[in-house]
Amino acid sequence: MRRATLPAGVRRGPAVTVNVDGTPRQAHLGETVAAALMADGGPAVRVTRGGEPRGIYCGMGVCFECLVVVDGVPNTRACMTWIRDGMDIRHMDGLAAAGLTKENDHDA
C-alpha cells in the first residue's frame, strides 16, 4: 500500500476490505476506487481494445480513462465511485469485460 502520510489532525475513514481482481485488499471509507487502486500500487486500471494501458488521468469524472468493473458493472469510473466494504473491483481488459472477442468486435 502506498498512501500519503496524513497531516496532524486528519484521519482516514474506517478500514474496509475490498476484492481487487479476486484478491482481498484494504481500503478506507471516504476514498474513491481510483485512490484505493493507486494506493494498491497499480496505476493502470484497464487495457484498451488495442492493448494500450490506461489509468487515472483527470480524477474528476471527465476523461473516462479510469473505467473498471465494480460489482459486475463494467465501465464504472473509478474516480467517481466511493469505496464500500466488500466491493468487488476488477480491472477491465478491453474485450472480455464487454463480452467481446476480436472476432465480434467490429470497432477493433
Q: How far is the CB of 102 from ligand FES (least distance, A)?
A: 26
Q: Which stretch binds ligand FES (CB under 6 A): 21-29, 57-65, 83-91, 96-104?
A: 57-65
| 3-state SS assignment for residue 80 | helix
CB 47 within 8 A of CB 92: yes
**Options 7-15, 20-28, 36-44, 60-68: segment touching ligand FES (CB under 6 A):** 60-68
| CA 20, chain centre distance (Å) | 8
Say whether residue 65 binds ligand FES (CB under 6 A).
Answer: yes
- Give the one residue of 61, 82, 85, 105 binding ligand FES; rule: CB under 6 A: 61
